[in-house]
Amino acid sequence: MSTSFRIPSSEITPEHLYLTRRDFIKSMGIAAGSMALAACGAAPSTSTASTPAPNINASAATDELGDPLTPHEVVTGYNNYYEFTTDKEDVAPMAKDFPTSPWEVAVGGLVKNPKTYMMEDLLKFEQEERIYRLRCVEAWSMVIPWVGFPISKLLNEVEPTSDAKFVRFQSIYAPEKMPGQLSGWYEWPYTEGLRLDEAMNDLAIFATGLYGKPLPPQDGAPIRVVVPWKYGFKSIKAIVKIDLVDVKPTSLWMAAASNEYGFYANVNPDVDHPRWSQATERRIGELSRRPTLKYNGYEEQVADLYVGWDDRLDTKTSS
């Protein structure tokens, strides 16, 4: 079967209209015939080297629950990226000229093989498509077709030592190019973390593209984390540093408001944010709200990580 999803021309630039799967495979270095699908169930079919390359057709594609992809223009036009601005619709124009090449990611800490990867090296990991729901802690959500590779593949290469318990990710610090970093409200650079076994879960990926193209700056180019069962703030953008550590990392949001944002930040409709309910969400593009699913609908794949854990203990006020 070949993938046959195409972005409706009304929603895209001509550039996208003519982008073929094969072009993308070439541009991203995706291994032909290896377009594994979303780890979670049914989804658009895969393409092989011998299959004629169809155009990307977003209108026909859904997530494994049958919900349509959020249009490309929304995914790339409504963003949270505080390094630039807190105004979601201004991120794309402000980030437009942010230089994302050359790019290096230094991986170190408690590992046997520390290494600084050039972006080109990271694109040599087999790139896959993953269609995931992104649920922001602000109670809106999207369905996004990412391209990327499991975090576990990189970690297996650098080989965490037996002392490593957590992975700490850091975004770029470039206040001369990112005016939001001049704000004293937050402790820059943006930092996030995962428990090592969470990072090793197959759903946790580094995204290098979306909608069949390299990531645009506003979505975290050239490489970001995507952990779909957690609130979107865990999916840290523009990563330049990854360290394996033995102490739970303090994220930018934990440092800013530990009573509101915890380390785990698992999507959970039964655990409200102190200032609003998390029981429902607004899927961008829909009129009425929909119920929020536990672990954003990925409970089957991740529940074993949290046996004996209560998400209500995640923030300081609720413990």
Residue numbers at the binding site for ligand MTE (CB under 6 A): 79-83, 134, 136, 171, 190, 219-220, 232-233, 235-238
Q: Where are the beta strands (DSSP E) in the chain?
A: 104-109, 115-118, 128-135, 140-150, 166-171, 191-195, 205-210, 213-214, 224-226, 239-245, 280-283, 290-291
Return d(Cα 87, Cα 150) in angstroms, integer. Answer: 30
Complex with ligand MTE: residue 136 or 205, whichever CB lies closer: 136
Least distance (Å) from ligand MTE to the CB of residue 75? 6
Q: Do 158 and 137 contact (CB within 8 A), yes or no?
A: no
Complex with ligand MTE: residue 235 or 292, whichever CB lies closer: 235
Least distance (Å) from ligand MTE to the CB of residue 237? 4
Return d(Cα 21, Cα 313) in angstroms, integer. Answer: 44
Least distance (Å) from ligand MTE to the CB of residue 273? 12
Least distance (Å) from ligand MTE to the CB of residue 8? 20
Least distance (Å) from ligand MTE to the CB of residue 318? 20
Using the structure block, give the residue that is written with the tokens 């040599």. Answer: 124
Least distance (Å) from ligand MTE to the CB of residue 49? 30
Complex with ligand MTE: residue 204 or 236, whichever CB lies closer: 236
Complex with ligand MTE: residue 168 or 237, whichever CB lies closer: 237
26: how many CB neighbours lie within 10 A of its CB? 12
Complex with ligand MTE: residue 81 or 103, whichever CB lies closer: 81
Q: Do 95 and 252 contact (CB within 8 A), yes or no?
A: no
Instruction: Report the helix count and the strand count for the chain, using DSSP H and E.
Output: 9, 12
Least distance (Å) from ligand MTE to the CB of residue 83? 5
Q: Do 239 and 189 contact (CB within 8 A), yes or no?
A: no
Q: Which residue type sits at 21?
A: R
Complex with ligand MTE: residue 205 or 236, whichever CB lies closer: 236
Residue with the closest Cβ to ligand MTE? 232
Cβ-based neighbours of 10, under 8 Å, separated by 6 or more: none
* Region of residue 96 (phi > 0: left; psi between -120 and 50: alpha; otherwise: beta): alpha
Complex with ligand MTE: residue 83 or 129, whichever CB lies closer: 83
Q: Which residue type sits at 313?
A: L
Here the tokens at position 159 are 């080989």
